[in-house]
Structure 1
Amino acid sequence: MAFIAQRGAFWRAEVRRKGHKPVYRTFDTRQQAQQWARRIESEIDCGAYVDRTAAERTTLREALLRYQREIVPTKRYQRQENHRISRWLHDDLAHRTLANLRGVDFARYRDTRRDAGRAENTIRLELQLVSHLFEIARKEWGFEGLPNPLKNIRKPSGSRARDRRLRPGEFETLHTLLSSSHNPWVAPAYELAIETSLRQGTLFALKWEWVDVKARLITFPPEARGTENKGVPHVLPLSLRAVAVLRNLSAIAEGNTRFLDKRLHFGPVDVNPSQLRGRVFGTTANAVLCVWKRCLVKAAELKPEIKELRWHDLRHEAASRLFEKGLHPMEVASITGHRSMQMLKRYTHLKPESLLEKLG
């Protein structure tokens, strides 16, 4: 039998059963306390009782901070995860307890983010983070009775597939603007992105120790290859143009090392890249992208449609160029690192003009 007593303006209900720790809760009325006590006793009798105390006391904010300490360090893209967590910490739902959150709350969050103009994939990743948090809490943090409310809502469909490639004259326009910037690494990064099809993160993580200019190969160590659909090939073959770009990058690296007050411009050089160590690019991806966006704005004055171009579209351009050179799909996949033909097809956009000669 439950013990119910009045304490001040509230009513405290306590249920004690052998084999279970005491369960208690405070209510505004005696009737609420009695209803809760009967429900708990019924669940204990039929063996369906699960302690919800932790879920009722832990807020989403507290759970997010624990997730940030324990789970995020095990992930590859920690910066993006921390950014999403920061976004959730500033939302009103962060002050609610885990047991008090419902699917309708996250459906409302989804719709609010859509109305604010957020991309579908952005919303999907934000919801996916919280969904994973609920699963971790249920499986590893002792919240066994905690349901995952995000399983009850419709998820955003994801990002729209892009088919943007460089149009006639855009490569030259952008290269000229990037070369005239104060950052000597930007123009080579632009060319190397197209010649190697490497993703932004992998491109700016390149190290000279991996590059063999004479053999025209880049050998990626296991820790740099990534997992699942974000992988890169074990060995990446280089085009003659890519080799030329790397030689110029080695000259820039040598110039920055020996003459910190001078910058070497992109052009013919005579430097041995095999003698260099450390990162290929002496700048950050963020610095390059800042210059890239400024150049897009300038280029848009003459070509308005160029403003919609993104850095990741260069990977689409690279994959398409490899097919236009006549490479077999398996050969292209061995360069781009795509794990499935379906994803490779999504990154390939052949120009109809390039097919005319084959059609006859």
Structure 2
Amino acid sequence: MAYFVIDQRARADGTIRYKCTVRVKQKGRIVYSDHRTFSKLAPAESWAKKEVGQLESNGVPNPQAGVIPLRELIAIYIDDPHITFGRTKLYVLQLLADSDIGKINIIDIRSHHIVDHCKNRIQAGAGPSTVAHDVSYLRWCLKMAKPSYGYPVTELPVIESYELLHSQNLIGKSQRRSRRPTSNEIERLKVGLNERASKRAAHIPYVDLLDFSILSCMRVGEVCRIRWDDVDEAQKAVTVRDRKDPRKKAGNHMIVPLLGGAWELLQKQPRTEERVFPYNERSVAAGFQRVRNALDIEDLRYHDLRREGASRLFEKGYSIDEVAQVTGHRNINTLWQVYTELFPKRLHDKEL
């Protein structure tokens, strides 16, 4: 059955655009999707009704012909109720759909198109590790198109582009960070965050969140997902739900002990809602970033607080295995690197 939906969207400059999407479902699965964007509602409705009429009269184009651009394949993936996406993957897929490569028919995509896309992204200011996400998710799209929806394409164009992409440094691994905030920076951040909290109608306890993030070694999203029924009073621990794991996208729950004052910080929060910290993680991170920028604190990210927390645990004498129980690292090589940077002389000391 063919149908259409129209979404109203506001651009950064405040102008309104109307994205009209036409789809066809068969046996609960989306087998066709196309969209156009208009500046006015009436043309959007007119185009949609015309497209729906043609689909009802002529039927769905044969998917074996591969007559859809990449952006429409991505739209089908995004609308598929059987596929779930993390925030990063969804963002990258939408970026691919809106870029020049998104306009190319999927059967016409070649390695040089991928190289051109990566060059354009680098020229726009993206780093090699960021562009590598584009290539990875593009490969996933092409690889899954045939078994999922019958489109006769493969991931071969992406595979063929890898050697050149690496040799020209268009894609690469992210730089390992070692940034730790100084005591002075943390104190300045707390003053700035307190001031910001006092001026906001919707009060967010930024300082409690900052301290809890450091002491618990949790990501801001993990902190904001903790529910009161996840709290284990007997063990002074919490269940962290869906903890990030590259091998497991969902259901990766872990019981994490709250150490060094984290338990006391949790207990002081008001029990007025289901979540302990019932705030939008993006609002928390954005508030931190604005205060950091206002204080001219350079190259410090909210995620660096997680490393700071792990470093403090090492400095208190906890072993790598014990710290991993708090941070949730499955691969302890990351923690080993943190440990060796903190104590580079540990082997020399054993000779004394």
TM-score (ref. length: structure 1): 0.69
Pairwise CA distance, 1:215? 3.2
Report which of the two has the higher share of strand: 2
Residue 106 of structure 2 corresponds to residue 98 of structure 1: yes
Pairwise CA distance, 1:338? 0.7
Aligned twin of 2:84: 75
Alignment partners' CA distance in 2, 1:164 and 1:146: 41
CA displacement 1:157-190 (0-9 Å, x = unmatched): 1211111011231221212221222233211111
Residue 228 of structure 2 corresponds to residue 208 of structure 1: yes
Pairwise CA distance, 1:237? 1.0
Change beyond 3 A, Cα 1:196–1:321: same
Question: Which consecutive unaligned segments of at least 5 residues does structure 2 have?
Answer: 1-61, 166-170, 198-202
Q: 2:205 is matched with which residue: 171, 175, 185?
A: 185
Alignment partners' CA distance in 2, 1:225 and 1:83: 20
Residue 196 of structure 2 corresponds to residue 196 of structure 1: no
Alignment partners' CA distance in 1, 2:302 and 2:138: 29
Residue 113 of structure 2 corresponds to residue 117 of structure 1: no
Alignment partners' CA distance in 1, 2:301 and 2:260: 25
Aligned twin of 2:265: 245
Change beyond 3 A, Cα 1:120–1:227: same
CA displacement 1:2-33 (0-9 Å, x = unmatched): xxxxxxxxxxxxxxxxxxxxxxxxxxxxxxxx
Aligned twin of 2:175: 160
SS at match of 1:153: helix
Q: 1:323 is matched with which residue: 297, 314, 327?
A: 314
One-letter identity of the residue aligned with 1:200: V
Change beyond 3 A, Cα 1:83–1:166: same
Q: 1:282 is matched with which residue: 278, 285, 288?
A: 278
Alignment partners' CA distance in 2, 1:115 and 1:347: 33
Preserved contact between residue 69 and residue 106 of structure 2 (Cα < 8 Å): yes
Change beyond 3 A, Cα 1:53–1:215: closer
Preserved contact between residue 71 and residue 98 of structure 2 (Cα < 8 Å): no
Change beyond 3 A, Cα 1:120–1:191: same
Change beyond 3 A, Cα 1:321–1:90: same
TM-score (ref. length: structure 2): 0.70
SS at match of 1:160: coil
SS at match of 2:196: coil
SS at match of 2:238: strand
Alignment partners' CA distance in 1, 2:218 and 2:248: 10
Pairwise CA distance, 1:287? 1.1
SS at match of 2:180: coil
One-letter identity of the residue aligned with 1:179: N
One-letter identity of the residue aligned with 1:143: Y
Change beyond 3 A, Cα 1:55–1:121: farther
Aligned twin of 2:44: none
SS at match of 2:183: coil
Give 1 or 2 for the bigger CA radius of gyration.
1
Change beyond 3 A, Cα 1:201–1:184: closer
Aligned twin of 2:45: none
Pairwise CA distance, 1:314? 0.7
Alignment partners' CA distance in 1, 2:242 and 2:213: 17
Aligned twin of 1:60: 70
Pairwise CA distance, 1:113? 0.8
Alignment partners' CA distance in 1, 2:70 and 2:85: 23
Residue correspondence of structure 1 range 3-82 to structure 2 within 5 A: 54=64, 56-70=66-80, 74-77=83-86, 79-82=87-90
CA displacement 1:307-342 (0-9 Å, x = unmatched): 210001011111111111111111111111111121
Pairwise CA distance, 1:117? 1.4
Q: Which moved more, 1:347-356 or 1:335-344?
A: 347-356
Q: 2:329 is matched with which residue: 328, 333, 338?
A: 338
Pairwise CA distance, 1:148? 3.0
Preserved contact between residue 320 and residue 350 of structure 1 (Cα < 8 Å): no
Preserved contact between residue 197 and residue 319 of structure 1 (Cα < 8 Å): yes
Question: Which consecutive unaligned segments of at least 5 residues does structure 1 have?
Answer: 1-51, 258-276, 301-305
Pairwise CA distance, 1:68? 1.2
Pairwise CA distance, 1:150? 0.7
Aligned residues: 276
Alignment partners' CA distance in 1, 2:154 and 2:246: 30
